[in-house]
């Protein structure tokens, strides 16, 4: 046990006195020390119930012979942080979570961990930490929220954001908006569509770090408490067998996750988080590789915002394992990858059933022959930009229109809600990238306003920022290089013609190379928006969105 360094031997007498101060018995000190990394707090709806799951995990660990100790991980609610300076602090928490977990685990010499995340940045942040620490680890998330009900229809958070645009356009009145506000988010849990949190929780199953149901069992179901107890049992079995995260998180398992990503139609943010997780194991995952996987992977699910089904329905249909079983029929998965069950992917999914082919389309009848995400490249985005193509209406798969240029999300929102954006326009939001933001804000407000005002089938949006998993439409994010480092998106001028061609994976502005070079020569870097505190340090260390916005020490 590595924890012997803080519990056993003559030199550890002072350490044991502090364990005594915690009320730990001699018998408990002799057991493996298991850190329960809980994201519980009282500000994030997806995390407000994690104390119950933490207690269940602790019971499972103790039952299986370990000594569990709860330690915290921070979390930001992207919905509450949306549309103001708070969103600058969303993506950056991913690295704070990874770093603080590393610090806690090594300072106290944990023998194993169970991670209890739920929302957007906690899942990848803790996966990064698990890969970095490489001690036996199991994930059990908080689970998805149940969908709301408004006017007899199931709804989710994106419905409410879009309702704001509908109200602004005069399509609904105040009473109707109030109804969305009251009934749109009815329970605890991560928001009910295939947004970023649920995408990453599902991909945790695909990578092999979560037990069956981790991504889909609703937060309010008692099955999730049972799952938490089983996670506590499972981590002790991994400890006894010395199965560690880097035995599970491998280049092969990340490629499995990318394949499942395409079939599920996950959030575009997975193109930030999978490369960041891969970076922790020394594997550079260029997001442009997504097109190779999209080309051979059918899109089997249309969950909100792409369609009208929700996470509880995916769970009832058989969950992630059923999707993986469908994909295995085409030989698209590496079935020999090890998982936290101690078994291989193939062993795990062999008895999985697709109980509802309307929710999980069989591979013989997919929504499309290609996957849910696409990476576009061209003279605007030499390193790529990502779009959730499964949530784009057919008439916007190819689009050409004049650029409407904004140097911040706030200015774009004002123009959209002020009725200044016309059908056919291409909204350009720049200086919102990892460095320029700093923090690469999500753009759910502008994308929802465009949809709510009835422009979703006629207006495209491109940005060096990113989108919420709840965004839909021809919304192309992660444009790299970003404007703050002189990427071509910084050179676009009002009225330039922009061409979006999703089937051909291209994104271009109709300008000659000579004109772009002339504009590049005249371009001057902007003064940083924030020069103190964590965001300033983050901006100094963060890399391109095309690399997952990972942090690196700047080279002199």
Instruction: Give the CA-trace dihedral at 541, 546, 550, 555, to 10 degrees.
Output: -40
Sheet holding 374-376, edge to edge: 374-376, 384-387, 475-480, 460-463, 426-429, 398-406, 497-501, 506-509
CA atoms of 223 and 546, how far apart (whole Å): 38
Contact 349, 212 (CB under 8 A): no
The predicted model gives 40-50 an average pLDDT of 97
Give the pLDDT of residue 168. Answer: 85
What average pLDDT does the chain have?
95
Contact 421, 387 (CB under 8 A): no
Q: What is the pLDDT of residues 154-180, one digit of tens each?
A: 999 888 888 888 898 899 999 999 999
Cα distances from 73 to residues 35, 140, 436, 484, in angstroms, run 11, 14, 27, 31
Burial of 516 (0-12, 13-18, 19+ CB in 10 A): middle
pLDDT category at 449 given cuts 50, 70, 90 is confident
Give the pLDDT of residue 556. Answer: 64
pLDDT cut 90: percent of the chain above it: 90
pLDDT cut 70: percent of the chain above it: 100
> 10 Å Cβ neighbour count for 398?
14
Q: What is the pLDDT of residues 419-435, one digit of tens each?
A: 999 999 999 999 999 99
Provide the pairing of β-strand 374-376 with 460-463.
unpaired
CA atoms of 158 and 139, how far apart (whole Å): 27
Q: Supply 46's token pair.
A: 């997806």
Q: Which of 56-65, 83-92, 118-127, 449-458 has the lowest mean pLDDT?
A: 449-458
pLDDT category at 470 given cuts 50, 70, 90 is confident
pLDDT category at 468 given cuts 50, 70, 90 is confident
pLDDT at 555 over 80: no
CA 531 to chain centre: 27
Rg (CA), the chain: 23
Nearest CA among 451, 289, 482, 314 for reference residue 373:
289
Q: What is the pLDDT of residues 275-301, one digit of tens each?
A: 999 999 999 998 889 999 999 999 999
The predicted model gives 495-511 an average pLDDT of 98
> 10 Å Cβ neighbour count for 536?
13
Strand partners, 139: 115, 210
The predicted model gives 406-415 an average pLDDT of 94
Burial of 158 (0-12, 13-18, 19+ CB in 10 A): buried
CA atoms of 217 and 229, how far apart (whole Å): 14
Tokens 């009282």, residue located? 42
Give the pLDDT of residue 282. Answer: 95
Q: Supply 311's token pair.
A: 């996470």
> 10 Å Cβ neighbour count for 519?
15
Give the pLDDT of residue 211. Answer: 98
CA atoms of 50 and 228, how far apart (whole Å): 10
Catalytic positions are 468
The predicted model gives 82-107 an average pLDDT of 96
pTM: 0.96
CA atoms of 304 and 390, how far apart (whole Å): 11
CA 198 to chain centre: 8
Q: What is the pLDDT of residues 193-216, one digit of tens each?
A: 999 999 999 999 999 999 999 999
pLDDT at 519 over 90: yes
Q: Which helix (H) or strand (E) holds 506?
A: strand 506-509
CA atoms of 43 and 46, how far apart (whole Å): 9
The predicted model gives 80-109 an average pLDDT of 96
Residue scoring higher pLDDT (510 or 82): 510
Strand partners, 509: 498
pLDDT category at 110 given cuts 50, 70, 90 is very high
């Amino acid at each position: 046990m590595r924890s012997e360094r803080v519990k056993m031997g003559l030199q550890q007498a002072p350490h044991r006195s502090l364990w005594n101060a915690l009320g730990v018995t001699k018998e408990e000190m002799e057991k493996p020390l298991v850190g329960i990394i809980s994201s519980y707090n009282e500000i994030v709806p997806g995390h407000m119930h994690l104390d119950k799951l933490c207690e269940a995990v602790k019971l499972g660990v103790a039952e299986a012979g370990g000594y569990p100790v709860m330690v915290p991980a921070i979390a930001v609610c992207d919905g509450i942080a949306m549309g103001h300076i708070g969103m600058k602090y969303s993506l950056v928490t991913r690295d704070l979570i990874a770093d603080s977990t590393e610090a806690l685990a090594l300072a106290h010499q944990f023998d194993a961990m169970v991670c209890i995340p739920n929302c957007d940045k906690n899942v990848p942040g803790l996966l990064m930490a698990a890969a970095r620490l490489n001690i036996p680890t199991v994930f059990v998330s908080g689970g998805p929220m149940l969908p709301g009900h408004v006017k007899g229809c199931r709804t989710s958070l994106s419905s409410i954001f879009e309702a704001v645009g509908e109200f602004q356009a005069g399509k609904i009145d105040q009473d109707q908006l109030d109804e969305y506000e009251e009934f749109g988010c009815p329970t605890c849990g991560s928001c009910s569509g295939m947004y970023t949190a649920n995408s990453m929780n599902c991909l945790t199953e695909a990578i092999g770090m979560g037990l069956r149901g981790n991504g889909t069992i609703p937060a309010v179901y008692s099955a999730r408490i049972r799952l938490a107890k089983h996670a506590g049992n499972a981590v002790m079995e991994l400890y006894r067998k010395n199965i560690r995260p880097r035995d599970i998180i491998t280049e092969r398992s990340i490629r499995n996750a990318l394949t499942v990503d395409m079939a599920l139609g996950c959030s575009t943010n997975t193109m930030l988080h999978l490369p960041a997780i891969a970076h922790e194991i020394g594997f550079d995952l260029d997001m442009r590789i997504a097109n190779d996987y999209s080309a051979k992977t059918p899109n089997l699910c249309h969950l909100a915002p792409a369609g009208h089904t929700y996470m509880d329905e995916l769970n009832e249909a058989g969950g992630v394992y059923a999707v993986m079983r469908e994909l295995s029929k085409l030989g698209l998965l590496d079935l020999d990858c090890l998982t936290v069950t101690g078994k291989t992917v193939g062993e795990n999914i062999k008895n999985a059933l697709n109980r509802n082919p309307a929710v999980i389309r069989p591979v013989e009848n997919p929504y499309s022959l290609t996957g849910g995400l696409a990476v576009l490249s061209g003279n605007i985005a030499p390193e790529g930009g990502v779009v959730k193509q499964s949530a784009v209406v057919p008439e916007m798969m190819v689009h050409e229109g004049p650029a409407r240029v904004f140097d911040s999300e706030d200015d774009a929102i004002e123009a959209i809600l002020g009725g200044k954006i016309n059908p056919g326009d291409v909204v350009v939001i720049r200086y919102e990238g990892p460095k320029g933001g700093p923090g690469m804000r999500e753009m759910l407000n502008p994308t929802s306003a465009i949809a709510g005002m009835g422009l979703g089938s006629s207006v495209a949006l491109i940005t060096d920022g990113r989108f919420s998993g709840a965004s839909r439409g021809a919304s192309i994010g992660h444009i790299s290089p970003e404007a703050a480092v002189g990427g071509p998106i910084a050179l676009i001028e009002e009225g330039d013609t922009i061409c979006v061609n999703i089937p051909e994976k291209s994104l271009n502005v109709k300008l000659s190379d000579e004109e772009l070079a002339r504009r590049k020569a005249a371009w001057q870097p902007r003064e940083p928006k924030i020069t103190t505190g964590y965001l300033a340090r983050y901006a100094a260390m963060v890399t391109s969105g095309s690399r997952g916005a990972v942090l690196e020490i700047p080279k002199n």
